[in-house]
Amino acid sequence: MDCKITPVTLEELKSFKKTAPRLNWFSPFILPEWLDVWRRVFDDDFSPYLRIISQNNEAIGIAPLMLKDGTAYFLGNIDVCDYQDFIAASGKEEDFFTALLDDLKQNGIKELDLKHVRPDSVTLQNLVPVAEKRGYKVATEQQDVSFEMDLPASFEEYLSSLTTKQRHEVRRKMRRLNEEGNITYRVIGGGAELPGALETFYKMFVESRQDKAAFLTDQMKQYFDLLTKAMVDIELLKIGVLELDGKPIASIMYFEYNDCIYLYNSGYDPQYVGLSAGLLSKVYAINDAIEKGKQRFDFLKGAEVYKGHLGGKEVPMYRCQIGII
């Protein structure tokens, strides 16, 4: 069946996503609001290739790509966009990718270089078979790992799911922290408290680890400032604050999207490293997610040991290269 291919802007996609319920915007990292912030801060010598592909006046997919020197990449980059993928309607993936590959070839694109795609992405599940069927050269390699876990119905069930050693460690650390005073965990998603909560988060972020301090360059700080504003506007941003006797001792930034919590970054007051404030802020966030009925907790990319200790299961992340011949 013939498809219509329409160039669009990120601004147009912001309103369009509300009117195309069949499309699967599977994570916050592929939302147009997120990608628009990336474009404003980091876009460098790339040409945007944003296409809506339709059949019978109904969108069946969106290609959020950018072009450079005959190669197409996902818009965004792996430093700040943990997962990348196409947006497609269920059951229409083959038609979508067939039309997309035809259009890319007609525009002189010789290669797709797609990074940080999950095993369950439409890139690997649907694009790769279509490309292989056409005789295109496809190469995939593991690039990184992510960690995630399904959430049970109660915090006790969660603790029971950990290994005996880790369950003992979490309980011991929580008990020790609570012996120090009154412990509270609060979630801030907007309002008058948010600016102060963000300032505290940034301070703890750079003080907790040297690599995080190096990461938060002026350009990255600009990105975070714009991103937090954009995510507040669409009600996704949350700041979790762990407090001891009313004093913040650890802070996390996460995104609450659909039934999942995406743990984006964290920091803690080094004065409380002996009380495992950083680790326990994640434990309290997990408990809060369970109480809210969330189904999944995603620690996102990176092989930090604590993610496995807290119950996360490893998810390989792939780079997929497709030669368009």
Rg over alpha carbons for the chain, rounded to the nearest Å, is 21
Beta-sheet pairing, 87-88 with 58-68: antiparallel
Residue 311 forms part of a structural domain: no
- According to the model, what pLDDT value does residue 108 have? 94
- CA pair distance 113, 84, nearest whole angstrom: 12
What is the reported pTM?
0.94
Domain containing residue 177: CATH number: 3.40.630.30
Long-range pairs, 210-216, Cβ under 8 A, ≥24 = 212/265, 212/267
Residue 124 forms part of a structural domain: yes
Residue 41 forms part of a structural domain: yes
The CA-based angle 262-285-201, given to 5 degrees, is: 75
- According to the model, what pLDDT value does residue 1 have? 59
Do 128 and 213 belong to one domain? Answer: no
Residue 235 forms part of a structural domain: yes
Contact 127, 86 (CB under 8 A): yes
Do 255 and 288 belong to one domain? Answer: yes
Q: How far is CA 118 from CA 240, 265, 305, 309, in A?
A: 27, 20, 20, 22
Find the domain containing 287 and state its range: 152-294
C-alpha of 15 from chain center:
21
Do 287 and 271 belong to one domain? Answer: yes
Q: Which two tokens stand for residue 116?
A: 């940080």
- CA pair distance 280, 273, nearest whole angstrom: 10
Do 21 and 122 belong to one domain? Answer: yes
Q: What is the pLDDT along the chain (325 residues), one digit of tens a residue?
A: 589 999 999 999 988 877 777 888 999 999 999 999 999 998 778 899 999 999 988 999 999 999 999 999 999 988 899 999 999 999 999 999 999 999 999 999 999 999 999 999 999 999 999 999 999 999 999 999 999 999 999 999 999 999 999 999 999 999 999 999 999 999 999 899 999 999 999 999 999 888 888 888 888 899 999 999 999 999 999 999 999 999 999 999 999 999 999 999 999 999 999 999 999 999 999 999 999 999 999 999 999 999 999 999 999 999 999 999 7
Residue 308 forms part of a structural domain: no
Do 140 and 234 belong to one domain? Answer: no
Q: How far is CA 47 from CA 6, 78, 85, 196, 259, in A?
A: 16, 18, 18, 37, 34
Count up the domains in the chain and report the number: 2
Q: Which two tokens stand for residue 260?
A: 């999942």
**Dihedral sign for Cα atoms in the order 120, 121, 124, 125:** positive
Q: Which two tokens stand for residue 216?
A: 């938060």
Do 163 and 137 belong to one domain? Answer: no
- CA pair distance 102, 60, nearest whole angstrom: 15
Do 181 and 159 belong to one domain? Answer: yes
Do 82 and 22 belong to one domain? Answer: yes
Residue 53 forms part of a structural domain: yes
